[in-house]
Copies of this chain bind each other. A is one copy, B any other.
Amino acid sequence: MTTEEKIFNAARIVFQNKGFAGARMQEIADEAGINKAMLYYCFKSKELLFKAILRNAFGQLAPQINEIFNSQDTVFDKITKFTQRYISFVILNPYLPQFLIQEMNNNPEFVMSFMIKEKRPNPVLLIAQIEKEIADGIIKPINPKQLLLDIFSMTVFPFAAQVMMKGMIQISDAEFNEMMEVRKTSIAEQIINSIKN
Q: Mostly helix, strand, loop or mixed at chain A's interface?
A: helix
Contact B21 A167 (CB under 8 A): no
Contact A17 B146 (CB under 8 A): no
Chain A residues numbered 85-103 whose CB sits less than 8 Å from any CB in chain B? 95, 98, 100-102
Report the copy number of this chain in the oligomer: 2
Contact B101 A19 (CB under 8 A): no
Contact A179 B108 (CB under 8 A): no
* Number of residues on chain A facing chain B (CB within 8 A): 52
| A86 vs chain B, min Cβ distance (A) | 13
Contact A146 B22 (CB under 8 A): no
Contact B183 A104 (CB under 8 A): no
Which stretch (A5-13, A42-50, A153-161) binds chain B? A153-161
Contact A160 B19 (CB under 8 A): no
| A164 partner, pick from B104, B127, B154, B193, beta carbons under 8 A | B104
| A18 partner, pick from B21, B148, B190, B194, beta carbons under 8 A | B21
Contact A106 B152 (CB under 8 A): no
Contact A102 B98 (CB under 8 A): yes
Contact B101 A161 (CB under 8 A): yes
| A150 partner, pick from B98, B145, B152, B154, beta carbons under 8 A | B154
